[in-house]
Copies of this chain bind each other. A is one copy, B any other.
């Protein structure tokens, strides 16, 4: 059965998996998300976990992306070095079951000064290009646990850089001396902006973070503002990296709308206009483009 007759695309991450049944006209008929991320699946349980996806969405070919292709996943799909486009991903597909189950490879950068890797975001990025959501040459931010700043050139991922903003924020919220001050939700307002301005100035995070505690203890910051300030600080510093690397006069932000909204706000404070693209739509477009190109 050719992939264009229908298939299942899975964004299989560390803690969650999102599975989508995609019809021959490219529409997503049904989908689910659950907590069966890579870390919750034993190394010999992936075939069963994939069978469970088919049992729920249909007996169709499976296209798997994300950490499922890492050393901790089902089978390691070696990184494809950048610059890389859709054709390179197709060539790098790791076939678990010929013609029926494939894992999309991640991308890597390795030069003297910098090393970097991504897994999962490449499907969204190339999907956004193939479906003309974004131009063939642009500068993209992909906020998430590990934000990626990406230079797209000639329809390929030319270069990228990871900033572990989301992980750092989640860790600070759960562990250490600031944790009990960071329970409140992040609100895009004055405290976020104040943090983002400091972050954009490139102040040292490990110094600024402690000052949050001092401000709350000494009464110069409302405790309820602390999480928004810290989020602003981390995202502002992250956007500062993006501004340095930006090759265009506009940023395109692909991802979860709750996150792209905060990055857009920080980018505006840094003088850079930004446009938001829904990450899920980009993933579906990328999966469809890959399925269409499978020989």
Q: Interface on A for B, CB 8 Å cutoff?
A: 71, 79, 108-110, 114-117, 146, 161-165, 167-168, 171, 174-177, 202, 204-207, 209-211, 213-215, 217-218, 220-221, 234, 237-238, 240-241
A220 to B109, CA, bound (A): 11
Return chain B residues, CB-CB under 8 Å to A161.
Answer: 207
Residues of B within 8 A of A176 (CB): 164, 167, 171
Say which residue of B168, B171, B210, B213 sits within 8 Å of A163 (CB atoms): B210
Docked complex Cα distance between A71 and B204 (Å): 27
The answer to whether B175 and A115 touch across the interface, beta carbons within 8 angstroms, is: no
Chain B's nearest CB lies how many Å from the CB of A173? 11
Which of these, B71, B114, B165, B217, contacts A206 with CB under 8 Å? B165
Bound form: Cα–Cα A176–B234 in Å: 16
Q: A108-B214, A162-B207 are in contact. List 9 more A-B contacts (CB 8 A).
A: A108-B218, A115-B211, A115-B220, A116-B211, A146-B177, A163-B207, A171-B171, A171-B176, A206-B237
Measured between beta carbons, the chain B residues less than 8 angstroms from A202 are 202, 204
With A and B bound together, what is the CA distance between A115 and B12 in angstroms? 43
Q: How far is the CA of A177 from the CA of B117 in the complex (A)?
A: 13
Q: Is the CB of A240 within 8 A of B204?
A: yes
Task: Check A110 against B163 for contact (C-beta < 8 Å).
Answer: no
Q: Contacts of A163 on B, CB cut-off 8 Å? A: 204, 206-207, 210
> Which residue of chain B lies nearest to A161 when distances are taken between CB atoms in the complex?
B207
| Cβ-defined contact, A213 with B177, below 8 A | no
Closest 9 CB pairs of A and B: A115-B214, A162-B210, A115-B215, A163-B207, A164-B210, A117-B214, A116-B214, A110-B218, A164-B206
Q: Given the complex of chains A and B, what is the CA–CA distance between A176 and B213 in angstroms?
A: 22
Picked from B162, B175, B220, the residue with its CB within 8 Å of the CB of A211 is: B162
Give the complex CA separation of A115 and B226 in angstroms. 14
